[in-house]
Structure 1
Amino acid sequence: MNLKLSTISVFFFLISAALTLLESSNNGDRVFIFEENEEPQIKRSDFPSGFLFGSATSAYQVEGAYLEDEKSLSNWDVFCHSVGCGVNGENGDIADDHYHVFLRDIELMHSLGLQAYRFSISWARILPRGRFGKVNSAGIMFYNKIIENLILKGIEPFVTIYHVDFPQELEDRYGSWLNPEMQEEFIYFAEICFKAFGDRVKYWITINEPKSVTDYAYEVGIIPPSRCSSPFGNCLDGNSDIEPIIAMHNMLLAHGKAAKIYHENFQPKQGGSIGLTVHSCMYEPLTDSELDQKAANRAFAFHSGWTLDTAIFGDYPEEVKEYLGTNLPSFSNDEKNILKNSIDFIGINHYSTTYVKDCTNSSCSATGNRAIRGFLETVGERDGVLIGELTAVDGSYVVPRGMEEIVNLIKIRYNNKPMFITENGYSSPDAHEQQVNELTNDVKRVEYHVKYLAYLAKSVRGGADVRGYFTWSFMDSYEWLKGYDVRFGLYYVDRQTLTRIPKLSARWYKNFLTNNSDLVEKKNIKKQFKSNFIRMSQCYQVIKSRCIQDLIQQMNMFIIQECSNGLYLIGLVCKYIQILNCLFYGQIKH
């Protein structure tokens, strides 16, 4: 008797859900379900018609084939082989094997409806020995194939010239970015890229996140060449107060000189544009005090501003000059002219927002109380409350409003120079504990992108000249010191077979890009559906059937993934039959 009552109850709950869906279908509404109190509604048409939507990766993180076709060892190859990088000593030797299956990956991009794809060029694949060896024709051929096939599919290539990896020989020969000779190496490499690919590549990024590279490589010393000093880390050699400044100086000059060559020798014929990217966290004062407000402004100057002020105004920010004093090298007048307006667009890699605390008049950690850090400290909580949900990256939080805030700040500070959001993405803090079906049903990632896009659309409506948005990343990849357990991708990559499996977020992105439909359901439909599933949840407690729980979860996933194509009702009938069969024939515990 109990079984029959439970069965009838569940049946009517499901019929109720179906009627709600049918009503929405008749009214022309398309549905997307989320479990949040307030969700923005966002659609493709909220952005200008020429706005580019894409996704991004980098060479070391996806290519693999680390010694194939005359490629030399990169700094990351040597570093990972010697000390071990990711969890369990994981490295990028194979990565996602993009080197061998790039054609299939491009097909997946095309199937999603991507309009642009941002990738980087492996320096060691093009110039295995830098200026002291020949250009590797196999490397040129590989990237030519990628570019040609992207264009064939209507996908715009965005090419990053330097994304952390370079030939190890340059480290052995010069000490890489601590030596001004590295500027000449980069200029030579960049010019080869302009010559080989510039007739088809219209968007160039010289360097990805210069300040992040110097921070991690020369301040805390956790990435190659692993140089640091106390209290920032325990490295064999280095000076955390001085070397990041030297490396940053050389990197920015390398960018400026390469951009000058592009602007003078290639842009007039090829008609492209050139920029660089910054890791742009948004900084909010911990308290309302004037000191913390100044510290928040200083945090921007010491991170994004260190790069952008130099590339746009031709010199370091005043805040950086004030706090670093004579430790900061100066630019000659010629160098200032080279650097000034050296970028055509700003690439913003934005993930998170944090609070900032002043350290000039209050106690801070040993690292916060240093000039190289601007005498400030970033913190993730105030009065015991986190600024946003945790992610898989330490110190990174989900704070969607930060997207609008950082874009507007950059818009005002740099006179609304064209911008692209070159990275934005989410990784779950417990991804390493999840099963495949949980990893692919990534509702949290969908929520993240929807909310951040909603705030981006707000800034665009307010006049910000943002011209594109790239998810990080196209597929799960090697996430540096975190290995393969930190997953940002729209596609799940099976580490045994390297098979790409679309996540819910991939299906959402495709729906967003191709159907121009609302991503979030109308409120009345949402309330009805929540009511239905709450009642179903109560039914679970009575029936306690693992079988029916799994099937209803599958039904929910099916609705989310397939409702926009207009054929979901047929599929739902099949799900109902499965659930009823489960109730009658499955193992049910009372």
Structure 2
Amino acid sequence: MKKTKKEFPDTFLWGGGIAANQAEGAYDAAGKGLSIADFHAYQKSLSKDDRLEHATLSVSDKMFETNPNAYYPKRYGIDFYHRFKEDIQLFKELGLQCFRTSFNWTRIFPKGIEDVPNEEGLMFYDALIDTLLENGIEPVMTISHYEMPTYLVEAYGGWLSRKTIDAYETFCQVLFERYHKKVKYWITFNQINLLSFNSLGFKESQTSNILEATYQSVHHQFIAQAKAKKLAKAYGEDILLGTMLSDKIAHPATCKPEDVLFSYRKNQMEYLFGDVAMRGYYPGYAFRFFEENQLDISMTEEDAVLLQENTMDYLSFSYYYTKINDAEKNSFSPMDKSKNPYLKSSEWGWEIDPLGLRTALNQYYDRYQCPLFLTENGIGATDQISADGAIHDPYRIDYLKKHFEQMKEAIYDGVDLIGYCLWAPIDIVSCSSAEMAKRYGVIHVDLDNEGNGTLERRKKDSFYWYQQVIQTNGHELNDPQY
């Protein structure tokens, strides 16, 4: 009888992840165009309990007009564009074996439709990827991470149009050809199941049916993803292409059969994104959902063949918290704010559920029987600098320790988990609230919500703890110092 592993495999990749739009800055450098993220202004009035997983952007026709009285944090990030070499030295000291970031679409194709890419933009990623490799760190590159060119929104309605598929395919052709010998792990779309303006890129004024436009846009992303896989096949095993989900598999609110069935059906509409990517076809429950909601989604026979023949190599996902599904609310919205009374929450109202991670890992592996890559996980918190200059963050260590324990249990269950990316190894601008105060990093960046600060990097207690975890391949999760 074959025995399952009780520890992290020797090939396990310990890493960290960021997004270009939350870290790079240099929004107008070297020919870069403007992306959706560049218009996400910081709002002082935003509540900590705002659990929206997407950037809170206006979708008015004037949304791409810059307000001279507003501050746009994602235009400046943490100046990773100019400081990536020193930051990668810190990542090397931390022991990262892989590092996930994204190609900022507008740095390479400023409008998204150019015939020739911006060479200066590509040269930045040449230097970034080469520096990672020189320091023994495997690059994990996301192709599209909420950095759609604003031109594609204005001209086409983003993913509402098949023309955006062509733009994405051209983008992938350039990236694959240039980096297939340097980058093995690729992610097509960040959290493809978060159905927000940030990921889909159409305005309310560009459609008369928001829900229909949403799933039509999703279908076009599925087709673009399959076309990317078709391109990647030309490079053989040099490229492993994965899709990425935001884990939204929720618990039933109670054991009432109504709650159980409702939760199952709602969870299915989250599985949809993995089902199409990994299995290659739309399941019956999706067509029922479309019919019950009177959605007319345009799909062709050619689309069906493309999806079937070009499934992904692995599934990656983010995991931060879990929610509950209550049949009485009868809401299929992924932004349902139902609270689980059995769980504690972070400062920003996100439930802390390490056991839920083990459940998610098993569910995904049971469903797809493919390698899994946890490419986002962490806790946003307010950090304080002590009088001696140290940053003590036992809450972050506790959160990560409990999640790592459940990752190990899932591996013992038989799950093929190939790697982990901490979100984030360094403080960056928050995706959802465009603030710096919500800190995820094990490296502190001296920068506040209004953009004031020296940008000095400083190691937190969690830096040394995670360093030890990596050095022992997850065997030592305790440290007497903490």
Cα displacement string for residues 339-362 of structure 1 (whole angstroms, at most 9, x for unaligned residues): 23520000011111111112xxx3
1:344 aligns with 2:324: no
Change (3 A) 1:225 1:190: closer
Choose from 438, 443, 468 the match for 1:511: 468
Give the partner amino acid of 1:499: E
1:256 aligns with 2:236: no
Is the radius of gyration larger for structure 1 or structure 2? 1
1:378 deviation in Å? 5.5
Choose from 254, 257, 264 the match for 1:290: 257
Counterpart for residue 493 of structure 1: 445
1:440 deviation in Å? 2.6
Choose from 381, 394, 401 the match for 2:355: 401
SS of the residue aligned with 2:386? Answer: helix
Change (3 A) 1:458 1:256: same
Counterpart for residue 159 of structure 1: 141
Choose from 476, 479, 496 the match for 2:430: 479
SS of the residue aligned with 2:477? Answer: coil
1:379 aligns with 2:338: yes
Q: Which range moves more in the overlay, 327-336 or 88-97?
A: 327-336
1:520 aligns with 2:478: yes
1:501 deviation in Å? 1.1
1:435 aligns with 2:390: no
SS of the residue aligned with 1:158? Answer: strand
- In structure 2, how many angstroms separate the alpha carbons of the residues matched to 1:437 and 1:294? 50
Counterpart for residue 371 of structure 2: 418
TM-score, length basis structure 1? 0.71
SS of the residue aligned with 1:159? Answer: strand
Structure 1 runs not aligned, ≥5 long: 1-43, 229-234, 527-558, 561-590
1:377 deviation in Å? 5.1
Counterpart for residue 389 of structure 1: 344
Change (3 A) 1:184 1:330: same
TM-score, length basis structure 2? 0.86
Give the partner amino acid of 1:470: C
Q: Is the 8 A contact 2:18 2:100 kept in 1?
A: yes
1:436 deviation in Å? 2.5
How does 1:159-558 map onto structure 2 within 5 Å? 159-212=141-194, 215-217=195-197, 225=201, 227-228=203-204, 239-263=209-233, 265-266=234-235, 268=236, 271-303=238-270, 305-325=271-291, 326-329=294-297, 331-340=299-308, 342-358=311-327, 362=328, 364=329, 368-369=330-331, 373=333, 379-381=338-340, 385=341, 387-394=342-349, 396-414=350-368, 416-428=369-381, 431=382, 435-437=384-386, 440-482=391-433, 483-495=435-447, 496-515=453-472, 518-520=476-478
Cα displacement string for residues 97-152 of structure 1 (whole angstroms, at most 9, x for unaligned residues): 00001100110110011100001000000111223353111111111111111111
- In structure 2, how many angstroms separate the alpha carbons of the residues matched to 1:84 and 1:427? 28
Looking at secondary structure, tell me which structure has more helix per residue: 1
- In structure 2, how many angstroms separate the alpha carbons of the residues matched to 1:393 and 1:173? 36
Q: Percent identity?
A: 27
Give the partner amino acid of 1:299: K
SS of the residue aligned with 2:113? Answer: helix
1:129 aligns with 2:84: no
- In structure 1, how many angstroms separate the alpha carbons of the residues matched to 2:65 and 2:463? 35
SS of the residue aligned with 2:250? Answer: strand
Give the partner amino acid of 2:113: R
Give the partner amino acid of 1:155: I
- In structure 1, how many angstroms separate the alpha carbons of the residues matched to 2:241 and 2:348? 29
- In structure 2, how many angstroms separate the alpha carbons of the residues matched to 1:223 and 1:159? 17
CA RMSD after TM alignment: 2.6
Give the partner amino acid of 1:342: T
